[in-house]
């Protein structure tokens, strides 16, 4: 506990907060990768320049193909009339997949410092809360108590 207090309050010369430096030249964390399965990890390392630096063009191409396929899938689902009530949840799920794909890999959040993820996620949660509150407020607006 005292150690935590020291970390949070001590100015160490390189900053008020004891945060590690982030740099593209830094080696990726040990368990970097989408899944902790060894062969997938090896494939990941192969695609992302041997596990150091940011992912390489081959990996970005895979992500781009994935995003294109998901977009096509969205279009196909949109034309399927039998889905009924499943249509919108499915579309939102696919949209969320694309969103995460771009934010995590194209925007480098997966490789970058976690504080950037925290800032963005916090704002996302705040934004979604406002969004849901507004929708709920409106759906109950015409109802008498």
Partner 1 sequence: MSQTIVDNHHKEEHVTSTGLSNRKLLMWTFLGSDVMFFGAFIATYLVYRGKSLNGPYPNEILNIPITSISTFVLLMSSFAMVLALNYLNENRRGLTQFWIWSVVVLGAIFMGFQVVEFTEFAIHGLTPRTNLFGTTFFILTGLHGGHVTIGIIWLAIMGYAHKKGALRSDNSEDLELAGLYWHFVDIVWIVIFTVIYLVSASDGPPPGIPGVTH
Q: Which residues bind partner 1 (CB under 8 A)?
A: 14-17, 19-22, 24, 53-54, 56-57, 60-61, 63-64, 67-68, 71, 74-75, 78, 87-88, 91-92, 94-95, 98-99, 102-103, 105-108, 113, 115-116, 119-120, 122-124, 126-128, 130-131, 134-135, 138
Nearer to partner 1, 42 or 95 (CB): 95
Which residues share a beta bridge with 27?
A: 52
Cβ neighbours of residue 63 closer than 8 Å, sequence gap 6 or more: 101, 105, 106
Nearer to partner 1, 35 or 69 (CB): 69
Contact 76, 91 (CB under 8 A): no
Rounded to a whole number of angstroms, the minimum distance from the CB of residue 38 to partner 1 is 26
Nearer to partner 1, 34 or 127 (CB): 127
Token duo for residue 54: 């940011």
SS3 89: helix
Rounded to a whole number of angstroms, the minimum distance from the CB of residue 95 to partner 1 is 4
Q: Which residues of 118-139 are buried (b: 16+ CB within 10 A; e: fewer)?
A: eeeeeeeeeeeeeeeeeeeeee
Rounded to a whole number of angstroms, the minimum distance from the CB of residue 24 to partner 1 is 6
């Amino acid at each position: 506990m005292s150690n935590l207090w020291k970390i949070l309050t001590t100015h160490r010369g390189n900053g008020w907060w004891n945060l590690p430096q982030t740099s593209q030249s830094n080696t990726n964390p040990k368990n970097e990768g989408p899944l902790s399965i060894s062969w997938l990890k090896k494939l990941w390392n192969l695609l992302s320049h041997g596990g150091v630096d940011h992912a390489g063009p081959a990996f970005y191409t895979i992500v781009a193909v994935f995003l294109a396929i998901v977009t096509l899938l969205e279009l196909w689902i949109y034309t399927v009339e039998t889905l009924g009530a499943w249509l919108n949840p499915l579309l939102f799920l696919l949209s969320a997949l694309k969103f995460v794909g771009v934010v995590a890999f194209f925007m480098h959040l997966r490789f970058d410092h976690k504080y950037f993820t925290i800032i963005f996620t916090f704002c996302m949660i705040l934004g979604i809360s406002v969004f849901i509150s507004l929708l709920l407020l409106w759906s109950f607006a015409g109802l008498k108590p």
